Structure 1
Amino acid sequence: MSAVGYAAVVGQIVVVGAGAPLLTGWMRQVRARLEGRAGAGVVQPWRDTRKLLRKEPVTPVGTGPAFRAAPALLVATSVVAAGLVPLLSTDTPVSSHADLIVVVALIALGTLVLALAGLDSGTAFGGMGASREMTVAALVEPTILLSVFALSIPAGTTNIPAIVAGAVDEPARLASPAGLLATAALAVAVLAETGRIPVDNPSTHLELTMIHEAMVLEYAGPDLALVELGAQMRLTLLLGLLSSLFVPWGIATDASWAALLLALLLFAAKVALLGAVLAAAEVFWAKVRLFKVPELLAGSFLLALLAVIASYFLSGAS
């Protein structure tokens, strides 16, 4: 494996880790402008992280190892997934390990450790948030699996770099009924997994509506900084996965420095565009009632299932 492949893995981790707060700041700025406000600026999440890292760590009395280890594990799972998912290149030293099941398992592990931390805090809000989070995850994770699996059928493998490379060579797959259904299903799953409107509101602290915030209310200082960074990295990673699967053009498929640089620029542009669209949509969307969320996620699961069925029959017909 050439140095370009190793650089691609490092570049993916760095761009997700360093760019995640900027993406969050960009989305907040877009939303603020659409609402007629000036906004705090694109780099405000980095300022908040720096401020939290300078504070003294505080651990509530009675919490156990699950609460203390969750922030680091959340960031660690995001870092490993960022190295596996082909955001910049499909030709990396870890491409053979970037299986669909592994990537989804890493995302689910991050969700699980955060839910365990919410339970370990021993508070009513923590337990409530953990219960809601696992209810959402029970429908989101299968939807992500089926959405990508629909694209894996024509590719003949569940290896994500191979799926992306095949989509680059045969773009007609993405315009097929299976591709369109999988796109819609995965988009809804990304909204739910990252706690965005209409499933959750990332800026609320109302006990009747919050899911993610309820699990992290007891965190402070550096631990809260890691939790927020991990959530921002997951948003960037999932938007990057969405763009890599359904808008794969520009991703490097060979060991070339020029192709890798172009892929980096296009990745930043695609994720920024998706973030702006999501932020703009949140201005006009309303959060659905909590009891309606399973219906929304069940609908996305059915779309993913239809995508798999359509992909199977279309592959058989060809």
Structure 2
Amino acid sequence: MSAVGTVAVLTQVTVVVAGAPLLTGLMRQVRARMEGRAGAGVGQPWRDLRKLLRKQPITPVGTGPAFRLAPLLLVATTLVVAALVPLASTATPVRDSADLLVVVTLLALGTVILALAGLDTGTAFGGMGASREMTVVALVEPTILLSVVALSIPAGSTNLPAIVAHGVHDPARLASPASLLAGVALAVVTLAETGRLPVDNPSTHLELTMIHEAMILEYAGPDLALIELGAQMRLTVLLGLLTSLFVPWGIATGTAAAALPLALALFAGKVALLGAGLAAAEVFWAKMRLFKVPELLAGSFLLALLAVGASFFLPGN
């Protein structure tokens, strides 16, 4: 593999790490403007992370390795996913390892690690949040698998770069019924996986409605900064995966160095546009009741299942 592919991997990981807090700041700013507020600015999440890094970490009495290692492992698994997913280029040294099952397993691993940390604290809210998170994950991960499997059938491979490259060279596939059903299903589970409305409220402080926030109540200082950064990176990567699978134009599919800057710029622009649209939609959404969330996720699973069936039986897929 050429040096261009190595540079592409390193650059897209750097863009994800540096741009994830900015994406969160952009989404908060869009919501603030639409709600008639001035907002704290796009760079506020980076300032928050810097402030947390300067504080002293706190470890509750009685916690074990799960609590202490969870922030590092969450960021590490997300970094690996950011390197594997073809966000800017499909011709990278890690393309053979970028299988659908590997990516979904790493995403699930990060969630499970955080749930174990919530249980390790021994608090009621930590256990409640971990239980809720595992309920959501049990419905989200199969839907992600089926959604991408529906796209992998025409491509003949579960390798993500191969699926994206097939979409670039066969644009008609992206308008097929299977792709549309898979796109809706994947968009719904992305909201659940990243703790966004209407499944979860990332800015809530009400204990009875928290899912993600309930697991990290005991964290402070640098540990909390790593968890916040990891959550922001997961949002960026999943939105980037959506754009790569369903709006793949601009992604570099060869080893030409000139195509990489344009691919990175388009990736940043598409993710920023998608994030701004999501933030604008959240202004008009209310959080669903917890017992209604499985119904929503079950509906997305059904859409993914229909997408797989359409890939097999409908012409043009």
TM-score, normalised by the number of residues in structure 1: 0.99
Q: Which deviations, in whole Å up to 9, do the C-alpha atoms of 1:239-293 show, x marking residues without a partner?
A: 0000000000000001112211000000010000000000000000111100000
1:140 partner letter: V
Where does residue 133 of structure 1 map in the other structure? 133
Between the aligned partners of 1:112 and 1:169, the Cα distance in structure 2 is 37
Between the aligned partners of 2:78 and 2:313, the Cα distance in structure 1 is 35
Alignment of 1:298-313 (within 5 A): 298-313=298-313
Q: Which deviations, in whole Å up to 9, do the C-alpha atoms of 1:135-159 show, x marking residues without a partner?
A: 0000000000000000000000000
Alignment of 1:73-92 (within 5 A): 73-92=73-92
Where does residue 56 of structure 1 map in the other structure? 56
Q: Which deviations, in whole Å up to 9, do the C-alpha atoms of 1:76-129 show, x marking residues without a partner?
A: 000000000000000000001100000000000000000000000110000000
Between the aligned partners of 2:76 and 2:314, the Cα distance in structure 1 is 39
Does the residue aligned with 1:257 lie in a helix, a strand or coil?
coil
Where does residue 314 of structure 1 map in the other structure? 314
Q: Which sections of structure 2, spanning at least 5 residues, go unmatched? A: none
Does the residue aligned with 2:9 lie in a helix, a strand or coil?
helix
Question: Offset at 1:190?
Answer: 0.2
Does the residue aligned with 1:208 lie in a helix, a strand or coil?
helix
Q: Which deviations, in whole Å up to 9, do the C-alpha atoms of 1:139-180 show, x marking residues without a partner?
A: 000000000000000000000000000000001111000000
TM-score, normalised by the number of residues in structure 2: 0.99
Between the aligned partners of 1:188 and 1:33, the Cα distance in structure 2 is 25
Where does residue 296 of structure 2 map in the other structure? 296
Between the aligned partners of 2:160 and 2:102, the Cα distance in structure 1 is 10
2:86 partner letter: P
Matched, 1:285 2:285: yes
Between the aligned partners of 2:221 and 2:5, the Cα distance in structure 1 is 36
Where does residue 143 of structure 2 map in the other structure? 143
Between the aligned partners of 2:258 and 2:314, the Cα distance in structure 1 is 36
RMSD: 0.8
1:108 partner letter: A
Where does residue 173 of structure 1 map in the other structure? 173
Where does residue 28 of structure 1 map in the other structure? 28
Question: Offset at 1:208?
Answer: 1.6
Where does residue 222 of structure 1 map in the other structure? 222
Does the residue aligned with 1:253 lie in a helix, a strand or coil?
coil
Identity %: 80
Q: How many residues align?
A: 317
Alignment of 1:1-318 (within 5 A): 1-314=1-314
1:107 partner letter: L
Between the aligned partners of 1:205 and 1:134, the Cα distance in structure 2 is 20
Question: Offset at 1:235?
Answer: 0.2
Question: Offset at 1:314?
Answer: 2.9
1:208 partner letter: L
Between the aligned partners of 1:260 and 1:248, the Cα distance in structure 2 is 14
2:261 partner letter: L
Between the aligned partners of 1:307 and 1:276, the Cα distance in structure 2 is 27
Between the aligned partners of 2:203 and 2:229, the Cα distance in structure 1 is 15
Structure 1 stretches of 4+ moved >2 Å: none
Between the aligned partners of 2:256 and 2:225, the Cα distance in structure 1 is 36
2:174 partner letter: L
2:117 partner letter: A
